[in-house]
Amino acid sequence: MEVTAHDILLIGGGGAGLRAAIAIAEANPRLDIAMVSKVYPMRSHTVSAEGGAAAVIAPNDSLDEHAYDTISGSDWLADQDAVEIFVNTVTQEMLRLEHWGCPWSRQPDGQIAVRPFGGMKKERTWFAADKTGFHMLHSLFQTSLKYGEIKRYDETFATKLLVDDGAVQGVVAIELSSGKIRAITAKAVILCTGGCGRVFPFTTNANICTGDGMALAYWAGAPLKDMEMMQYHPTGLPQTGILITEGSRGEGGWLVNKDGYRYLQDYDLGKPTPTPVLRSMELGPRDRLSQAFVQEMEKGRTLKGPYGDYVHLDLRHLGEKKIDEKLPMVRELCLNYSNIDPVHQMIPVRPVVHYMMGGVSTNVNGETPLKGLYAAGETACVSMNGANRLGSNSLGELLVFGARAGAHAAQYVTGAPEPSARLLAQAADEEKRINREYLNRTSGGERVAVIREEMQHAMESAAGIYRTRKTLEEGAVKLAELKQRFMAVALDDHSRTFNTQLTSVLELAGMLEIAETIVHSAIAREESRGAHQRIDFPKRDDQKFLAHSLAYGNAQGVPRIEFAPVTITRWPPGERVYGR
């Protein structure tokens, strides 16, 4: 087996991975950095972010207000030390990104333009039209190319972390073009593998968002934090789940039910006004808007379509000029995927799984409890998003905490031990396992696609926008059955070159674990908070659950759930008030 050695290894070439790589190169140009990515970095999910990235820049705004909005938005589950670091650093990160080439949209007088976003008291979301992630990823990628010390392994799939003497020291990975399995060792590994929306059937997330890094960390013994906190975004296109950005409501779009009525006024989110009011109506937070949709559906006031119930997003009053200037991609997506022109027609939308607030548990430096293992971006839970992320906080998060994880890992490797020769035996075992369980197995009754689909539907029924102990326990039973059946999974394709069935089965193995952590964390949290709404426990319970859930793998196969306190610095838990 081919073995290569580096100082620091990044898994993931999206926004978080690239930002971390640049931070390492800046911190110590002598370090040998490697980046493994299962897709070419420019195809990472960050590229599809539309609406923008929040950072205080307007003269009437303040860091404390950004912190308060984030904390109340999180339903007080965010760690406030992490939020403070975030708001204090993110503006500087955004300006650096501009110096690296990111074309932020501007006002006519040349100032950075900002748009309103859900749950934010002030206009503070920077944007590059509605292709923000595309421009951010390009700027980060081209900047990373300046650093020759960043060696890339593109289209290479990490399957296992190598751990020796309690320290993470590399990965086993498959080079997808040849099927060659290799060991890549390093003194520190940073997971930047993105979200896991594909655990659910209907999501805005790309096919590659299968949470691989969360599974890698969990298998290696690291806990996953707050996994019950899966965010639904209120406006996806019904058939495909393609996102219609919150920016479209930021620019003044309305949500109306089957009677053309702006129903959010019935859900304690304020009243319609001639001009949009921040933190009100359509500019409320995502959890509340998604929950209002379900209640509206139960009242029989949504529309019925071939892909389920939906409501309308009305942009017509914004006019063609504004739509083309501020929301060109929304028009393009609606025309291409729904044959609808938002200049003249209302857009059918419904809530769709969008973002995992939980993830690999880290501190504010990106360190996980496992020595040598770091995580940043959507795969990590630092936690600044708590029970509900505010739209446009994630792109800033991956800059701030990607950079911190990189800088910290650069310091750590200076005194860290050289990877041990014993890792090679582990890597050889992993190669044998992949061959035995997937590539060489020709018989077996179970198919990847069937198990994946059953898992996704089980997750929607068990752990959707509203949950109960009964739905969750049924989900847990179904997942246990699927894990059992997965042991007999067999592939049709045994070739080595770009074997997409092989990557699918590896992804599914991880998703089954992640699904279990979501369901079992949700069973343990007997309260309703943010994205986690239990019909059987409808109130927030700060006495018992002002705490992060931590899911640990264990020998019985079912995760063990523990709770750890939330860090409160300056904002004691309070009521979440919107529309007033």
Interface residues toward ligand FAD, by CB under 6 A: 11-17, 36-39, 41, 44-46, 48-53, 132-133, 157-158, 192-195, 204-205, 208-209, 212-213, 243, 355, 377-379, 392-395, 398
- Residue 215 Cβ, how far from ligand FAD at the closest point, in Å? 9
Q: Where are the beta strands (DSSP E) in 165-237?
A: 167-175, 180-185, 188-191, 224-225, 230-236
Query: For residues 379 and 549, which CB has a smaller minimum distance to ligand FAD in the complex?
Result: 379
Element (H, E) at 467: strand 466-467
Which residues have a Cβ under 8 Å from the Cβ of 359 and sit 6 or more positions away?
214, 224, 225, 226, 227, 375, 378, 379, 380, 381
Q: Which two tokens stand for residue 308?
A: 């389920």
- Count other C-beta atoms under 10 Å from residue 233's C-beta: 25
Distance of alpha carbon 462 from alpha carbon 229, whole angstroms:
13
- Residue 445 Cβ, how far from ligand FAD at the closest point, in Å? 27
Query: For residues 48 and 280, which CB has a smaller minimum distance to ligand FAD in the complex?
Result: 48
Query: For residues 257 and 426, which CB has a smaller minimum distance to ligand FAD in the complex?
Result: 426
Q: Is 233 a catalytic residue?
A: yes
Q: How buried is residue 469: exposed, middle or buried, by Cβ count under 10 Å (0-12/13-18/19+)? A: middle
CB of 158 closer than 8 Å to CB of 373: no
- Residue 46 Cβ, how far from ligand FAD at the closest point, in Å? 3
Query: For residues 36 and 318, which CB has a smaller minimum distance to ligand FAD in the complex?
Result: 36
Q: Which of 481-487's residues contact partners 24+ apart within 8 Å by CB, and which partners?
A: 482/451, 482/454, 482/455, 482/458, 482/512, 483/512, 483/516, 483/557, 485/446, 485/451, 486/446, 486/451, 486/512
Phi first, then psi: give them for residue 361, nearest 5 degrees: -70, 125
* Catalytic residue (one of 124, 233, 279, 467): 233
CB of 252 closer than 8 Å to CB of 135: no
576 SS3 class: coil
Distance of alpha carbon 458 from alpha carbon 358, whole angstroms:
20
Distance of alpha carbon 162 from alpha carbon 147, whole angstroms:
27
- Residue 251 Cβ, how far from ligand FAD at the closest point, in Å? 13
Query: For residues 247 and 553, which CB has a smaller minimum distance to ligand FAD in the complex?
Result: 247
* Catalytic residue (one of 249, 404, 534, 548): 249
- Residue 468 Cβ, how far from ligand FAD at the closest point, in Å? 28
Query: For residues 15 and 119, which CB has a smaller minimum distance to ligand FAD in the complex?
Result: 15
Which residues carry out catalysis? Answer: 233, 249
